[in-house]
Amino acid sequence: MIRKLIRQMLAAQTLSALTVSLCLLIDNIMICRFLGVQATAAYGLANPVLLAIGAIGALLAAGVQVTCSKSLGSGSKEETDRGYSSALALMVGISAVFMALVLILRDPLSTIMGAGREGELFDMTRDYLAGFIIGAPGSMGALVLVPFLQMAGQSNLLIVAVLVMTVTDVGFDLLSVLVFHGGMFGMGLASSLSYYAAMLVTLGYFLSKKCVFSFSFKNISGKKIRELFVGGVPALFSMASSVALVFILNKILLAVGGSDAVAAYTVLAGIGNASNCITTGVGGVSLTLSGILYHEEDQTGLKELLKLLTRCAVLLGAVMGALLTVFAPLFVRIFLSEPGPVQDLTILGVRLFSLGLMPCCVIGALKNLYQGTERVTLTEAISVMEGVALPALAALLFSRFWGVTGVWLFFGVGEALALLCIAVFVWKKNGNISLSAQSFLLLKKDFGVEPKNLLEMDIQSLQDVKGAVASAESFCRIHGQSAKMCNHIALCIEEMASNTVQHGFAEGKKNHLSIRVQHKQDRWVLRFRDDCQAFDPVSYVPKENGKEPLGIRLVMAMADDIRYTYSLNLNNLTIKLQAKH
């Protein structure tokens, strides 16, 4: 089932990673095509401020993934709703404050970014900042709502929102250039309007009765806000590192190549950010699923997740790298149609950038998994090392020997060194050299349960249900449980699994039901997970001939604790029973 989840989520997560970078990419193309190299340089100088908006949005989005995956893993809808309400309140408040600050301080900000204190470059930089920052609530909202759409299984709606954003951004950019002659302010405003258009598309779901999350002002809590910030700190480290790296590279490029080199890097960054959506996609899947599996104490699931995501990362990184290498001239000419030094510099930069995509994608899977499994300090260290320290060091060192060409090595060298450092750390931590998923998980020795205390079964038919019941009874007897306790566990499995197969499995569709029976200390935990239509046996029991189904009612009565959540298009039911010998 994990393989199926990764397939379902990866495409949507990768596409959703474009919700911010796509508008920036389109602006990049339009500015290069219609406003010239100087405007492109101004756009590049404004980028750190734009990335700062993304950093705050990424912090909240990652906080949502960590906090809500934890509550989903423990089966608490109440805590998930508190996270949802608190995240929306934070997003509105922070984006409004950020928008006001940038509008007030855009002149000194433009100077700090390297645009000087007056002149054409300064005016273009401040104008773009003013236009773009108006859309801060929209761009930040797009990032924060993405994980909720994923958890609700609304991948199709997410795709529609991205398409609407793309079309409206292109349309508004063309209107600004060809009709209103809005200059750099118009380009920034076009992006702002497109973000709001995407938000309107998603609001239809979040305001409907179908929405699986409930907003309430009463659910906004200081404790949950702290959890969101703590959970999102590693993502903030990552984005803050990106902001710092752009700032440093702009300074180095201005020194060794002037505004032409900054313009070339601006185009390179646009292409690089778009291609790096595969890393963001892999990382998003890793963070969400690892958080759920970790809080379910599912060591087997975590190993399978890391294996599959690493393979995806290597494959996607290799394919994307090859595409960038081969089609670099074509991609660059979309931005820079006129041959010349800037175009040549950019083509070389794109080809050298492609060398870092594979290690970057693998690192994205690892560091987000470490965050999901609560190794926050390690995630932060990787983010700083990979995001700014090693790339900046490489750019500074190699620029002394090969000028701008040396700067272009920042990504490939930085990512390769960061991956090597992670491997060395893991090998030292484990005391041996191994490339196994178990080795790189870095789980505590007492994590989860021993294999002898765990029974996992996949169900696809009623015949499988009979086999699962027999296996569970045998498993309970081996652990010294009374005949009554064995019967209780067998009844839970028989009733819930049979009900899922008979009423949930759709004819002609390959549905899946996984059952996990875990014995730990003095309790039994049964987890049922299926990909059928949403059905909550805890809060709603369907009627059969005017009576409640006896089997489900008995299960509810026997359980010491029972929780249901619907997330990632999956029904998740957790039943806990006190062990009796």
480 and 369 in one domain? no
Sequence letter at residue 20:
V
**509 and 374 inside one domain:** no
Centre a 10 Å sphere on the Cβ of residue 280 and count the other Cβ atoms it contains.
Answer: 21
Domain membership flag for residue 216: yes
- DSSP state string for 389-441: IHHHHHHHHHHHHHHHHHHTTHHHHHHHHHHHHHHHHHHHHHTS----HHHHH
445 is a domain residue: no
Shared domain check, 427 and 458: no
Here the tokens at position 253 are 């490029």
Q: Which of 449, 494, 451, 450 is nearest to 471 (CA)?
A: 494
- What local confidence, expressed as pLDDT, does residue 231 receive? 78
DSSP string computed for 174-188: HIIIIII--HHHHHH
> Across all residues in the chain, what is the average pLDDT?
85
Number of domains in the chain: 2
Q: Helix (H, G, I), strand (E, B), or coil: what is residue 572?
A: strand
Cα–Cα distances in Å, from 440 out to 295, 417, 426?
A: 18, 17, 6
420 and 512 in one domain?
Answer: no
Q: What is the pLDDT of residue 17?
A: 66
For every residue of 453-510, DSSP letters joined together read GEEEEEE-SHHHHHHHHHHHHHHHHHTT--HHHHHHHHHHHHHHHHHIIIIISPTTS-
* Residue 446 forms part of a structural domain: no
> For 324-348, how does the pLDDT look when each residue is reduced to its tens digit (9 = 90+)?
999 999 999 988 888 888 899 999 9
Among 384, 410, 440, residue at a domain's last position? 440
**Which amino acid belongs to residue 525?**
V
40 and 127, same domain (yes or no)? yes
Look at residue 523 and tell me whether its pLDDT is greater than 60: yes
State which residues form the domain around 475: 452-578
Domain boundary among 440, 464, 496: 440
pTM exceeds 0.75, yes or no? no
Could you tell me if residue 6 is inside a domain? yes
Q: For 89-112, what is each residue's pLDDT tens digit?
A: 988 998 999 899 999 999 999 998
Assess if residue 118 is contained within a domain.
yes
Three-state DSSP class for 339? coil
- Which phi and psi (to 5°) does residue 451 adopt? -55, -35
- Domain shared by 262 and 374, yes or no: yes
Q: From 409, 440, 471, give the residue that closes a domain.
A: 440
Would you say residue 146 lies in a domain?
yes
- Are 496 and 434 part of one and the same domain? no
Say whether both 18 and 160 belong to one domain: yes
Question: pLDDT category, 546, cuts 50, 70, 90?
Answer: very low
CA atoms within 13 A on the CB side of 487: 5
pLDDT at 567 over 80: no
CATH of the domain at 529: 3.30.565.10
Whether pLDDT at 545 is above 50 = no
Greatest Cα pair distance, the chain, in angstroms, is: 86
Give the pLDDT score at 204.
84
* Structural element, H or E, at residue 527: strand 523-530
| Choice among 126-135, 413-422, 435-444, 446-455 with the minimum mean pLDDT | 446-455
Same domain, 378 and 496: no
Co-location of 503 and 412 in the same domain: no
Neighbours of 188 (CB within 10 A): 26
Chain centroid to Cα 299, Å, comes to 21
Per-residue b/e over 47-74, b at no fewer than 16 CB within 10 Å? bbbbbbbbbbbbbbbbbbbbbbbbbbbe
516 and 395 assigned to the same domain? no
Compute the distance between CA of residue 25 and CA of residue 30 in angstroms, rounded to an integer: 9
Per residue in 176-202, pLDDT (tens digit) is 988 998 899 999 899 899 889 988 888
- Is residue 394 pLDDT above 50, yes or no? yes
Please check whether residue 137 is in contact with residue 91, taking contact to mean a CB–CB distance below 8 angstroms.
Answer: yes
Residue 515's DSSP bridge partners are: 457, 528
How far apart are alpha carbons 5 and 82 in whole angstroms?
A: 25
What token pair was written down for 259? Answer: 């505004």
Does the CA dihedral 81-529-361-344 come out positive or negative? negative
pLDDT of residue 396: 94
Q: Among 61-65, 320-324, 372-376, whose mean pLDDT is lowest?
A: 61-65
Length of the chain: 581
Round to whole Å and give the CA distance between 187 and 190: 5
Same domain, 6 and 90: yes
Structure-block tokens of residue 441: 């998980």
- Give the separation between CA 122 and CA 8, rounded to whole angstroms: 45
Phi, psi (rounded to 5 degrees) for 53: -60, -45
